[in-house]
């Protein structure tokens, strides 16, 4: 018997969060201040989804159906009424239904997507690693550990976050379950843009 879907408050944004990724957020709208305060108090996540239609501010936006749970790692309030957050991506989910609360907050009924087992980076894509290592080293505190260069999913997700890939393409890659296909697509992208040597 299929278990009922979980309930998750949703934060539609013009960005795509991947599992293991870090995302700084500035929160100031009352509906999201209340949501984040509740999540911090109850130690619960919220969901980050790419906006399919609408804007981040104002009326509730329409989200893409697949998103990633956001776990709050750090927060600060340097100025009144503005929360500075650092969140890390957890599990992917699919929205099966959603409703709009009175304050304009979207709350989704979600099912968690099954993640493929961890796989090492294949030899055919090993050339991706030196460039990513140098980028991560250069980013320093902006990409805090853990760093898992032995995990193909982690390597692919970090490249997708860092590269100037259109948002809709990032969303499609988030939805793609085949981790090795992700790496092959990224490898071709890097070759096409002169960041890796072309095949002889």
Mean pLDDT for each 10-residue chunk of the chain (200 residues)? 87 96 93 93 96 83 95 90 94 96 92 92 95 94 91 96 94 96 95 84
Residue 71: per-residue pLDDT? 97
DSSP-based three-state secondary structure for 60: coil
Dihedral sign (CA 21, 25, 29, 33): positive
Cis peptide leading into residue 124 (ω within 30°): no
pTM, two decimals, is 0.92
Residue 200: per-residue pLDDT? 60
Q: Can you tell me the distance from the alpha carbon of 127 to that of 183, in angstroms, rounded to the nearest whole number?
A: 11
**Angle at the Cα of 143 from the Cα atoms of 140 and 145, rounded to 5 degrees:** 95
Asked whether the beta carbons of 23 and 15 are under 8 A apart, the reply is: yes
Residue 79: per-residue pLDDT? 85
Domains and CATH numbers, the chain: 6-112 (2.30.130.40), 123-192 (1.20.58.1480)
**CA 197 distance to own-chain centroid:** 29
């Amino acid at each position: 018997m299929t278990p009922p879907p979980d309930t998750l408050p949703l934060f539609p944004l013009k960005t795509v969060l991947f599992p293991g990724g870090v995302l700084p957020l500035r929160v100031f709208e009352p509906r999201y201040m209340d949501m984040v305060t509740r999540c911090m108090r109850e130690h619960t996540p919220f969901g980050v989804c790419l906006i399919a239609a609408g804007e981040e501010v104002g009326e509730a936006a329409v989200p893409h159906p697949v998103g990633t749970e956001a776990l709050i790692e750090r927060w600060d309030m340097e100025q009144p009424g503005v929360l500075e957050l650092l969140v890390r991506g957890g599990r992917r989910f699919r929205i099966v239904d959603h409703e709009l609360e009175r304050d304009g907050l979207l709350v989704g009924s979600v099912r968690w997507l099954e993640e493929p087992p961890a796989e090492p980076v294949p030899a055919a894509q090993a050339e991706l690693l030196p460039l990513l290592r140098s980028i991560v080293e250069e980013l320093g505190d902006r990409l805090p550990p853990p760093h898992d260069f032995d995990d193909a999913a982690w390597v692919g997700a970090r490249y997708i976050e860092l590269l100037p890939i259109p948002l809709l393409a990032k969303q499609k890659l988030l939805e793609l379950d085949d981790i090795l296909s992700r790496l092959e697509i990224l490898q071709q992208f890097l070759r096409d843009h002169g960041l890796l040597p072309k095949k002889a």
